Amino acid sequence: MDINTKLCVYAICKNESKFIDRWVASLQGEADCVVVLDTGSTDDSVEKLKKYEPFVTVKQFDYFKELGYFRFDKARNDSLKMVPYDAGICVVLDLDQVPIPGWANAIRERFREGYSEVYGAIIDHDENGNELNQWTSRNVHPNNPFWVWNKVIHEGIQHYGDEEYKTVYDKRFTINHYPDTHKDRSLYKDLLYYSCKEYPKDPYYGIYLGIELSRRYSLEEATEAFRRALKECDYTGKEDIHFQTYLNLALCTNDDDEALDALFDAKELSESLNFKSRRLYKSLADVYERKGEYDKAIAALEEAIEKVPTYSSDWTDDASNFNGYIEDRLSLFYYYQKKNYLKAIEWSTKALSRNPSSQRLKDNLEFCIKAFLGKEIH
């Protein structure tokens, strides 16, 4: 059977000028064509994209001007309609996403093997290019009318056809994500409030709203959003989101007792799910330290290393929790709170073994050793 492996990338765009050259460069020599729906840019995004015609096709539609509202799912579906009929493979990529070289042929190979959907990895980066979180992408699907985007924000592609299709994960399709942290996100907050009213029992919108509020606006508002989600949302079959909601509530509230209760609930869930997260134990240590309960803080950090030695199921677990941060913090607790310089040296050595190039960790170890030697001399 002949498989149509002509590959088209489709995207929506608004004020993405600074990303365009890098984005197009990652698609050239990989994709067969690119279509972009601009939703109302006020910078030179459209002009810059048009420089890449005919490889890139651009269409403009200002939703607020033409319709008076904006939904991400509608924009995604409208951009999908721009994909030419003779393309068999659709790949959605935002302009701040850069797939690694060879990604397109990996997808074509999987389609020839009979797969209809290819998962990959998306790796977040900070402004300095450092890797942060990683999760599984859902960016590839066949070009047919049974694949539709839905939900106003944090939209997802859904398959509505009766035919069976096969999915596969391929690490060759890895996307580096460089989000613009200075971008105006007020629209996101408004759409999330709207989504929580439209889908009041959907825990995804409950947690997304809380996270958005905690990052951009108000911890008090975020705390209330997480409380509402825990009280009103249906977590059946979504225990991982239940865990994340408890954990995020603990991170936002200024009530340490409420934080501990939430963390204990998260810990109980994680144990029942065999879900591993160093972030959970670090958060427990944070609360215990604020309360002055240093022995419990030390126990929580040691438990993090014992129970989550090398792998975390928590996709939001910061990479620093695995490159010496926990060990370094233990060395500081033992030095300053317990005056146990040998244990401080032990944990400082372990921290440095996790991150040998860190000058700060080298200095900490030297400091602990000098303190121990000075104690022994006197």
User: Average pLDDT of 358-363?
Assistant: 93
DSSP for 86-154, please give it: T--EEEE--TTEEEPTTHHHHHHHHHHTT-SEEEEEEEEE-TT--EEEEEE---EEESSTTEEEESSSS
Q: Are 73 and 81 in contact (CB under 8 A)?
A: no
Which range (9-13, 280-284, 287-291, 369-373) has the least confidence?
Answer: 369-373
Band (186; pLDDT cuts 50, 70, 90): confident
Q: Are 59 and 35 in contact (CB under 8 A)?
A: yes
For domain 7-177, give the fold.
Spore Coat Polysaccharide Biosynthesis Protein SpsA; Chain A (3.90.550)
Check pLDDT > 90 for residue 310: no
Closest CA to 328 of 344, 348, 356, 309: 348
pLDDT digits (tens, 9 = 90+) for 12-30: 999 999 999 999 999 999 9
Predicted pLDDT at 131: 83
Predicted pLDDT at 1: 44
User: Average pLDDT of 108-120?
Assistant: 94
Q: Going by DSSP bridges, is the β-strand pair 89-92/140-142 parallel, antiparallel, or unpaired?
A: antiparallel
Band (317; pLDDT cuts 50, 70, 90): confident
Note the pTM of the prediction, 2 decimals.
0.75
User: Average pLDDT of 49-73?
Assistant: 96
Which range (48-57, 171-180, 184-193, 246-255) has the least confidence?
Answer: 184-193
Closest CA to 193 of 179, 181, 209: 209
Integer CA distances (angstroms), 274 to 43, 113, 130, 159, 261, in order: 48, 34, 29, 30, 20
pLDDT digits (tens, 9 = 90+) for 335-359: 999 999 999 999 999 999 999 999 9
pLDDT digits (tens, 9 = 90+) for 233-262: 999 999 989 999 999 999 999 999 999 999
Rounded to the nearest 10°, the torsion over CA 268, 134, 197, 15 is 160
* Cα separation, 206 vs 227, whole angstroms: 9
Structure tokens at 230: 């825990």
Predicted pLDDT at 376: 52
Predicted pLDDT at 378: 39
Roughly what angle, to the nearest 10 degrees, separates helices 239-252 and 278-290? 30
Check pLDDT > 50 for residue 4: yes
Domain layout of the chain by residue ranges: 7-177
User: Average pLDDT of 113-125?
Assistant: 92
User: Which three-class secondary structure state does DSSP give residue 200?
Assistant: coil
Q: What percent of the chain has pLDDT over 70?
A: 98
Q: Are 193 and 206 in contact (CB under 8 A)?
A: no
For the CA atoms of the chain, what is the radius of gyration?
A: 24
Integer CA distances (angstroms), 294 to 112, 254, 290, in order: 58, 19, 9
Average pLDDT, whole number, for the chain?
Answer: 92
Q: Going by DSSP bridges, is the β-strand pair 7-13/33-38 parallel, antiparallel, or unpaired?
A: parallel
Beta strands in the chain (DSSP E): 7-13, 33-38, 56-60, 89-92, 97-99, 117-125, 131-136, 140-142, 147-150, 156-159, 167-177
Check pLDDT > 70 for residue 184: yes
Predicted pLDDT at 313: 78
